[in-house]
A = this chain, B = another copy of it.
Amino acid sequence: MIDALDPGGPVNSVPPNDVHAAWLPPEAFRALGSRRSLVCGEGTLVDTVRDEIARACVRYGGSTDRPHPRPDRRPADDRSAAGTAYDLVLALVPAGLLPIAAAAVDVVYRRRYGAGTLGEEGFLLARHTEVTVVLAEAPAGLLYGLFHLVRLGESAFGLTRPMELHRPAMRLRMLNHWDNIDVHPVMGQVERGYAGGSIFWQDGARREDLTRVGAYGRLLAACGVNAVSVNNVNVHATEARLLTDRLGDVAAIADVLRPYGIRVHLSVSFAAPVMLGGLSSADPLDEAVREWWADATKRVYESVPDFGGYVVKADSEGQPGPFGYGRSHADGANVLADALSPYGGVVHWRAFVYNHRQDWRDRSTDRARAAHDHFVPLDGQFRDNVILQVKHGPMDFQTREPVSPVIAGMPGTRLAVELQVTQEYTGQQRHICYLAPWWSEVLGFGPWGDDGPTVAAVAAGASVGDAAERGAAGDGGGLVAVSNVGDDPFWTGHPLAQANLYAFGRLAWDPRLAPTAVLDEWIELTFAASAPNGLGLVRRVLRAIMDDSWRTYERYTAPLGVGFMVHPGDHYGPDVDGYEYSRWGTYHFADRDGVGVDRTRASGTAFTGQFPPPWRDVYESVESCPDELLLFFHHVPYGHVLHSGSTVIQHIYDTHFAGVEQVVAMRQQWERLAGVIDPGVHARVRERLDEQVRCATEWRDQINTYFFRKSGVPDAHGRRIH
C-alpha cells in the first residue's frame, strides 16, 4: 500500500528553485528513493520521514509504505506483512517494531551497548537479511536515522554492515542568529552576517513566505542541529517585542521548524520588564519583575508549547543586565530560569562580559581574564535550567586562542560552549576557511590535561575527574554557534562556507568525528549531482583547498596567537594598530624590540593562573608555551627562537609569504573544477578566491612591512618587503 504522494508534503521543506540545495540536492536521495521502504510510527517527525522518502521515490522509482492500520485484517497480499518485501525499514521501537528486525537487533544491541537507551534522538542502524533497519525510541531518532541513511547513500544497502548505534553527544545543538528585524544603521540586518539579509525578517517584519526557513530547518536536521534562536543577542527596541506583542511571529517560525525537530529560542533584553512591561525597574530580586517574567513566559508557552527558552547577553557591550541593580549574574539568570522552569525551558546566559571601555594605558586590566573573574565565583548559584554560554576562547573568536579557562572552572554549572560559524574574524565568507579543524582541536582539548574530560565532554555534561569519554547526551549545556546563513542564494555567501554550517551540526552530534571525514560527507552530499568520475575530482580538489584552509588563513593574518590586527568595526582585512589604542582590550604591544602580551603570573596579568594544571604552567613558561599561542601569553623579542627553530620575526615573514602562496594555489586548484560542477557555484567561488588572493596579499604586505619597520630585521631570504 503505497502512500499516495502528498504533493503538499511538509510545505516548506524544499528551497525555492533559485536557492542552492546545499547538502540536500535531490541526487543525495538516490539510494533511498530507488528502494522499497516501510516507515512505522506516527507523529509529525515520522510524517516528515515519510514525506522525504516519498519525494525521493517519485524521482527515483522506489516505494514507501506504512503498516496496515489493522494488522489483524490486512489482506494476504499486503507487503507490509513480510519484512523481506522491503529494502528498508524505519521504525519506532515502542510503536510497531517488526519481529524479524527486533529479534536480531535486540541481541546485538544488548551485547554491544548494554542496557542503555536510544533516548529522544538516538537511533540504531542494522543490516539484516538484505533489509536495512533503522530503529528509534522517539520520532526525532527516526528523523536523524533517515538523514544518516542519506549520508550513507548506497553503502547503507551494502551486503555487510556492522550495526551502528548513534546518540548525540550533546542534547542541545543550537544555532544563534544575530538577525535584526529592523536594519541596524551600523551592523546591518544580520550583525556580523556575510550572506545577505535575514531569512526570518525583512523590512521590519517577519517574512510572509517562510519557505526558506523550512528549507533551512531541513538542512539543519540533516546535520543534527535541534535548536535555533531567531534574533540578535543585541536586542534592539523592535526585536525586544518578539517576547510580547510580536509573539505571533515566533509561533509562525516555530510551526515551520517543528517538523524538523528544531525548537525555537528567543534573545531577550534583560530590561524587558522596563521596556515592554512599563515597570520602573528590571531588578531581578524585585517581586514585580519576577511576576512580569513569569507572566510573559506563560504567554510565550501558550503560543509556542515547545518553546526552547531565552538567550541573554547581559551587562555586555552596552546591553542592560543585573549589574545595573547591584545584583549578580546568578540573580539575573535565575529570575528568567524560574519563569521558564514550569515549561521545561532553559536560559542561555552568555558569559561574554568584559570591560569594553578599557583604557589602553591600563596594563593591569586583561580582557582575557574577564569571563573567569566574573563567573567562576558564581559557580553553583545558577538554577538547573540555566546554561552558561561560554565562548570557546577567552577573547572573541579569533583565528587562534587558548581554550577559555571558564570551561574548567565551573563544575557546578551547566556550560554550553559557543563557537562562531559566521566568519567574523576568519574571512567573512569571502575567504575559504574551513573551521572544523579548529573546532575539533578545541572540542578535543583537555582542560585538565590528557587524562580528564575534553571540552566536548564538559559541554556534554562531564566535569573534572570524569573520564574523557563521559557525558554523551548528558545534562551539559551543549554546543552553540552563531549561524552564517542569510538570504543569499547560496545560503552562506561563499558556497564553500556551507561546509562550516554542516560541520558544526555534525561535531555537535559527535565531536569525535574527524574534520576530514565530515568534509568528505559534505562534499559527497553537496556535489552528489556530479558524475561518479567527476565526484572523485571534486573530492580531491576540495580536500586540497579546504582541509588546511584554516591554518592557511592563520598564516597570512595575525601571527602566533596575538589576535586582532583587523580593521576596526567591520573586522575585515588588516590594520595592525587598528585596535592598539582602543577601548576594546585587544592589544599586541609591538615596539621596536618585541611583540606580544605578557599574561604570566610572574610579570604579567596572571591570566595563566586561571587555568588548572598542567596548562597554568605550560602557558606560564615561554619555553613550554606552544608556538601558536606564544604571543597570546608572552611578550618576546623579535629574535626569540620558536620550537620550530625559526625566530619570531622570520616566522612572521615566512608564514605570510607562504600563506599567500597557498591561497594562490587554492585558486589554481579551483580552476580544475570549471565545467565539472554547477557553473553558478564555480563562478561565485572564483570571484571570492580573487578577493581572497587580494586580501591575503594585503595582509602579508601590511604585517611584513609593519614588523620590518618596527624591528629593522631584514628577511633572511631577501624577499620584497615594502
Give A684-718 interface residues, CB cut-off 8 Å to B. Answer: 698, 701-702, 705-706, 708-712
A577-B577, A722-B361 known; A592+B709 contact, CB < 8 A: yes
The answer to whether A702 and B590 touch across the interface, beta carbons within 8 angstroms, is: no
Any chain B CB within 8 A of the CB of A563? no
**What residues of chain B lie closer than 8 Å to A592, measured between beta carbons?**
592, 709-712
The answer to whether B591 and A710 touch across the interface, beta carbons within 8 angstroms, is: yes
Any chain B CB within 8 A of the CB of A487? no
A575-B581, A577-B577 known; A590+B361 contact, CB < 8 A: no
Any chain B CB within 8 A of the CB of A576? yes
Any chain B CB within 8 A of the CB of A441? no
Any chain B CB within 8 A of the CB of A451? no
Q: Which of B577, B581, B591 sits near A712, CB closer than 8 Å?
A: B591
Any chain B CB within 8 A of the CB of A154? no
Any chain B CB within 8 A of the CB of A295? no
The docked-state distance in angstroms from the alpha carbon of A185 to that of B183 is: 12
Q: Which of B361, B577, B698, B711 sits near A576, CB closer than 8 Å?
A: B577
**What residues of chain B lie closer than 8 Å to A559, measured between beta carbons?**
none
Any chain B CB within 8 A of the CB of A447? no
**What residues of chain B lie closer than 8 Å to A361, measured between beta carbons?**
701, 722
Any chain B CB within 8 A of the CB of A593? yes
Give A2-43 interface residues, CB cut-off 8 Å to B. Answer: none
Q: Per-position contact with B for A552-566: 1 when CB-CB < 8 Å, else 0?
A: 000000000000000
Q: Per-position contact with B for A569-611: 1 when CB-CB < 8 Å, else 0?
A: 0000011111001000000001111000000000000000000
Q: How far is the CB of A620 from chain B (nearest CB, A)?
A: 25
The answer to whether B709 and A591 touch across the interface, beta carbons within 8 angstroms, is: yes
Q: How far is the CB of A710 from chain B (nearest CB, A)?
A: 6
The docked-state distance in angstroms from the alpha carbon of A102 to that of B18 is: 87
Provide the main secondary structure of the chain A interface: loop
**What residues of chain B lie closer than 8 Å to A593, measured between beta carbons?**
712
Q: How far is the CB of A356 from chain B (nearest CB, A)?
A: 17
**What residues of chain B lie closer than 8 Å to A574, measured between beta carbons?**
581
Q: How far is the CB of A325 from chain B (nearest CB, A)?
A: 29
Q: Per-position contact with B for A49-71: 1 when CB-CB < 8 Å, else 0?
A: 00000000000000000000000
The docked-state distance in angstroms from the alpha carbon of A722 to that of B589 is: 11
**What residues of chain B lie closer than 8 Å to A705, measured between beta carbons?**
581
Closest to A576 in B: B577
Q: How far is the CB of A584 from chain B (nearest CB, A)?
A: 14
**What residues of chain B lie closer than 8 Å to A709, measured between beta carbons?**
590-592, 710
Closest to A577 in B: B577
The answer to whether B710 and A581 touch across the interface, beta carbons within 8 angstroms, is: no
Closest to A591 in B: B709
The docked-state distance in angstroms from the alpha carbon of A705 to that of B589 is: 10
Q: Per-position contact with B for A369-398: 1 when CB-CB < 8 Å, else 0?
A: 000000000000000000000000000000
Q: How far is the CB of A598 from chain B (nearest CB, A)?
A: 15
The docked-state distance in angstroms from the alpha carbon of A701 to that of B359 is: 11
Closest to A360 in B: B722
Q: How far is the CB of A574 from chain B (nearest CB, A)?
A: 7
The docked-state distance in angstroms from the alpha carbon of A217 to that of B75 is: 98
The docked-state distance in angstroms from the alpha carbon of A706 to that of B361 is: 12
The answer to whether B710 and A710 touch across the interface, beta carbons within 8 angstroms, is: yes
The docked-state distance in angstroms from the alpha carbon of A179 to that of B701 is: 38
Q: How far is the CB of A568 from chain B (nearest CB, A)?
A: 9
The docked-state distance in angstroms from the alpha carbon of A296 to that of B592 is: 61
**What residues of chain B lie closer than 8 Å to A701, measured between beta carbons?**
361, 581
Q: Which of B185, B591, B702 sits near A581, CB closer than 8 Å?
A: B702
The docked-state distance in angstroms from the alpha carbon of A498 to that of B469 is: 72
Q: Per-position contact with B for A219-243: 1 when CB-CB < 8 Å, else 0?
A: 0000000000000000000000000
Closest to A698 in B: B581
The docked-state distance in angstroms from the alpha carbon of A712 to that of B637 is: 14
Q: How far is the CB of A175 from chain B (nearest CB, A)?
A: 29
**What residues of chain B lie closer than 8 Å to A578, measured between beta carbons?**
575, 577-578
The docked-state distance in angstroms from the alpha carbon of A470 to that of B712 is: 54
**What residues of chain B lie closer than 8 Å to A590, measured between beta carbons?**
709
Q: Per-position contact with B for A355-369: 1 when CB-CB < 8 Å, else 0?
A: 000001100000000
The docked-state distance in angstroms from the alpha carbon of A574 to that of B582 is: 10
Q: How far is the CB of A104 from chain B (nearest CB, A)?
A: 66
The docked-state distance in angstroms from the alpha carbon of A360 to that of B577 is: 16
Among A574, A592, A706, A712: residue with most chain B CB under 10 A: A592
**What residues of chain B lie closer than 8 Å to A712, measured between beta carbons?**
591-593
Give A463-514 interface residues, CB cut-off 8 Å to B. Answer: none
Q: How far is the CB of A475 from chain B (nearest CB, A)?
A: 47
The docked-state distance in angstroms from the alpha carbon of A698 to that of B583 is: 12
The docked-state distance in angstroms from the alpha carbon of A576 to that of B706 is: 13
Give A392-435 interface residues, CB cut-off 8 Å to B. Answer: none
**What residues of chain B lie closer than 8 Å to A702, measured between beta carbons?**
581
The docked-state distance in angstroms from the alpha carbon of A593 to that of B592 is: 10
Binding site for B on A (CB under 8 A): 185, 360-361, 574-578, 581, 590-593, 698, 701-702, 705-706, 708-712, 722
Q: List 7 A-B contacts (CB under 8 A).
A: A361-B701, A575-B577, A575-B581, A581-B698, A581-B701, A593-B712, A710-B710
A581-B698, A593-B712 given; 19 more Cβ-contact pairs under 8 Å: A185-B185, A361-B701, A361-B722, A574-B581, A575-B577, A575-B581, A576-B577, A576-B581, A577-B706, A578-B578, A581-B701, A581-B705, A590-B709, A591-B708, A591-B709, A591-B710, A591-B712, A592-B709, A592-B711
Closest 4 A/B residue pairs (Cβ): A591-B709, A577-B577, A361-B722, A592-B592
